[in-house]
Amino acid sequence: MANLISEPTPLTVLSPIKNGDDGSQTFASLTRKYLQSLDIHEKSPMAKVPNTFLCRFFVLNDVFFEGSPGKVDHLKSKYLVFCCNFHGDLNTYLREFWQNAQQEAQKIWRHCVAFEQVHDAESFIDYIKKCELNTTIYFNGSTGLPLDEQLKALYLKQEFSQFACEKQGLSAEALFEAFQEFVERTRPADLTGPTWKPGQNTL
């Protein structure tokens, strides 16, 4: 796992989904159905997981068939794939994942092989690590700073652009006064707020 200072930490997890069905739908279909029912952006359950930069869940049906004369290979089961970038180390990230979104994790992974053995943060960390794939190339859309710093920066950038637009042409005194008001309102050093919400992706 690549983990360099000032870069986000990537994670790729492939968890085998149980073969078989619940009497009408396969466990893979049920997993996909649940994933597709999840909200995205601010309402995503992953917005509750601290320091998540971006993430994606999907169901991998099989290896891609590349046509003749290739050998036809198949996976032994379908997989739940979880990819994400986050800030910090893996143990902390997964521990906070469990602490903040335990119910969602249990629903997402409930049809995966052996997930019934996961009952606390430590066993969740063990499980994910067993399913982890080495990630060497990934989409890097972030600086790697803690999420609250990045959200605050995005918020400030948005607000300052607005400020610059509105206040252009003012005298130096008026501009200084307006800027003081701006600093008081936006509190640049305060990471707790005002700021963007986790999961927010547009202004």
Partner 1 sequence: MPDQHIDLNDIQGNIVKAYGRFGYPKARYIFFQFHDVEAGRNFIRDLLPLITTGRPWCKDQPPSATTNIAFTYQGLKHLGLPTKTLHSFPEEFSMGMKARADILGDDGESSPTEWDPIWHHDKYIHMFMSINAKSLEALEERYKKIQDLLKKSSGLVTQLRGHRDGQRDDLPYQEASAIFVDGKPTPTEHFGYQDGISDPYFKGSGGNPLNVVGGGKPTRGDPATLQGWEPLETGEFILGYPDETKELPIAPVPTLLSFNGTFMVYRKLHEKVKTFHDYINNVGKDFPGGPEAVAAKMAGRWRNGAPLVLFPTREEANAFAQEYEKARELAATSAKGKKRYEELRLKRTGFNFGNDLAGSRCPMGAHIRRANPRGCLEFGIKDAFATPGALDNRRRILRRGLPYGEVTNPLSDDGEHGVIFMAIGTSIERQFEFVQQQWINYGNDFKLSNQKDPLLGNHDGKDMFMIEGGSPDNPPFFCPEIPRFVTTRGGEYFFVPGLTAIRMIADNLIDPT
Nearer to partner 1, 80 or 147 (CB): 80
- Secondary structure of residue 98 in the 3-state scheme: helix
- Secondary structure of residue 132 in the 3-state scheme: strand
CB under 8 A: which stretch of 63-71, 95-103, 140-148, 179-187 binds partner 1?
63-71
- Distance in Å, CB of 46 to partner 1, minimum: 18
- CB neighbours (10 Å) of residue 155? 19
The beta-strand segments (E) located in 73-193 are: 79-86, 132-133
Contact flag: residue 69 with partner 1 (CB under 8 A): yes
Contact flag: residue 6 with partner 1 (CB under 8 A): no
- Interacting residues with partner 1 between 72 and 131 (CB under 8 A): 72, 74
- Secondary structure of residue 60 in the 3-state scheme: strand
- Residue 85's DSSP bridge partners are 10, 54
CB under 8 A: which stretch of 32-40, 82-90, 104-112, 144-152 binds partner 1?
32-40
Q: Which two tokens stand for residue 153?
A: 């920066």
Per CB under 8 A, residues contacting partner 1 are: 19, 21, 23-26, 28-29, 32-33, 36, 61-62, 65, 67-69, 72, 74
